Structure 1
Amino acid sequence: MADTAPDTSWAGATETRFTALYRLLVGHPGLIAMCGDRPWLGPQLLRRLVETQLAHSLAADMTPKQAIVTYRRLYLLPLGSASYINHRDPKDSRALTRQALAALDPDDFPVLTRRLGTVGAATADPEVYYGALRQLIDAANRANSSARRPKAIVETSQVHGKRDREEAGPTSTVRRYFATLPPSSPQRSLFGLFPNLLPAGLLPP
């Protein structure tokens, strides 16, 4: 498993770790078969990948739940990608895919049979994995950044949103109207007799 420098960003270190895991599994497909349906709980994997990744996520201000859920998503991606086909022989994998698709009835599978080349090329394209990995990392980064918005900013935003709604509503329109009237006007006096026409605190001075 690849090591990263202490000052590497969370995104950079995460991409390095899960790229290394993917390459390890692609290069040694027997590891997946050997594991079977048992979870990988060996001390080497736990120390060099799981513990390290979780610690880095917590240091990036993720909550424990965010850290483990993000790890599981990142971990399942290379596991599934590596076990899907034999990446050590991509030409053979593409040929098998094209052969299987060519045997399909075009009336039943019009999308697949008309795009044999495109589907076959993507079958063993490693960029499919790398692109998906970057998307997962970017999504986790955005979610974590949103969760870490300072409370004061969130509260200010909520207050401004409430104020905007009030200023656009009918209650505010009535309030502004009465505020323009002279204190001695009959309309203003009438409003003073029925303060419940507006919510508490909105009675014009």
Structure 2
Amino acid sequence: MAVWLTRITPDPRSAEARADLAQAGNLHRRLMKLLPPTELGDSPRQAAGLLFRVEESRSGTTILAQSTHHLVADQLPDGYGQLEHRELTPLLEALEVGRVVRYRIVASPTKRLGRSKQRGVSETTIPLRGPDADAWWYSRARNHGLEPRSVTAQDRNDSVDRSRGRRIRHAAVQFQGVATVTDPASAREAVLHGIGRGKSHGCGLLSLALAGGPE
């Protein structure tokens, strides 16, 4: 199964691009429109393996989208921006025990509180920040075949969707650093399916890059 990483460099002059970047829900719907016209069932995002995040750097804003279907550039509005593809299959096949990788993910670290922990309060999900978020990432990374050697965490703006009567908000934290692969199969699954909540709203996409040979 081929896996594609699509990089979109939006043109800041494009009103459509600015509107999409303003709300994660808008961007999700835009990327769904780029999928080829094929039957994806009742859960099209999961069926297409679509994950995405927005990256900010000194050179500007980029949108990274990962999918098992080749996104169709012709479906972007005129003047929206530039689009390029790269296949991730060789990277996934190169993962092996002891391989050192660089990682990056914008995740939504959360903790569930239920009736057993707060008397008289129904189950709720609370966002995690600071050391609690770091602990969340270390736990999730290890459960997904990675042993972090280093981590840098940076709070990101909440991922929101206020359109169509929705009031969805996911707290977002970017984690990046170096890790050692301990379970290649689990690491591949994490790349393919993402980690944590908010996958329809720009969270969960795990990016890996080879940093050296096995140790």
Same fold (TM over 0.5): no
Q: TM-score, normalised by structure 2?
A: 0.22
Bigger strand share: 2
* Relative contact order higher in (CA < 8 Å, ≥ 6 apart): 2
Bigger helix share: 1
Larger Rg: 1
